[in-house]
Amino acid sequence: MSGLPNLSDALDGLMQPVTAELVEKTIVNGRIQEIVQKTVYTQAVKQPFTARQLSIRPEGERAWPWFTVHIKTNFVLKIDQVFRLSGVQFRVMEVLNYAEYGYMQYSVVQDYNNEAPTC
């Protein structure tokens, strides 16, 4: 026990149920295929980046939608992992570990997946 309060119950009022899918890219017959490796039913909240947050992104790509995502700790991701929330695919760009408080925070960008961005 860390002695820190578990804030996951407080976040319940903001979070909504989502289906989170971890996507793994593999090569099949010379083509990249995206296969859902794991599906988790969890709770999350997605917030769009502010203009200031976008202006300081080092990646230089601002045409694609960026979000801050808070997810309960039953779905842990790493930088550059691809995942889907309710069918929309995202790529993890930053991880902030607040597991002591009952959630993880991610900065994500909608993964283009050879498509135009959707807002």
Please check whether residue 34 lies inside any domain of the structure: yes
Return the amino acid letter for 108.
Answer: V
The residue segments making up the domain with residue 67 are 8-110
The widest CA-to-CA distance across the chain, in whole angstroms, is 52
Please check whether residue 1 lies inside any domain of the structure: no
- In Å, what is the CA distance from 32 to each residue of 11, 47, 93? 37, 30, 21
Please check whether residue 95 lies inside any domain of the structure: yes
Please check whether residue 102 lies inside any domain of the structure: yes
Please check whether residue 116 lies inside any domain of the structure: no
28-57 pLDDT, tens digit per residue, is: 899 888 888 888 888 888 887 766 666 656
- CATH code for position 23: 2.40.10.270
Q: How many separate domains does the chain show?
A: 1
- pLDDT for res 105: 93
Q: Which portions of the chain are predicted below pLDDT 70?
A: 1-4, 6-9, 50-63, 112-119
- In Å, what is the CA distance from 95 to each residue of 26, 92, 105, 107? 24, 7, 6, 7
- pLDDT for res 42: 86
- pLDDT for res 87: 82
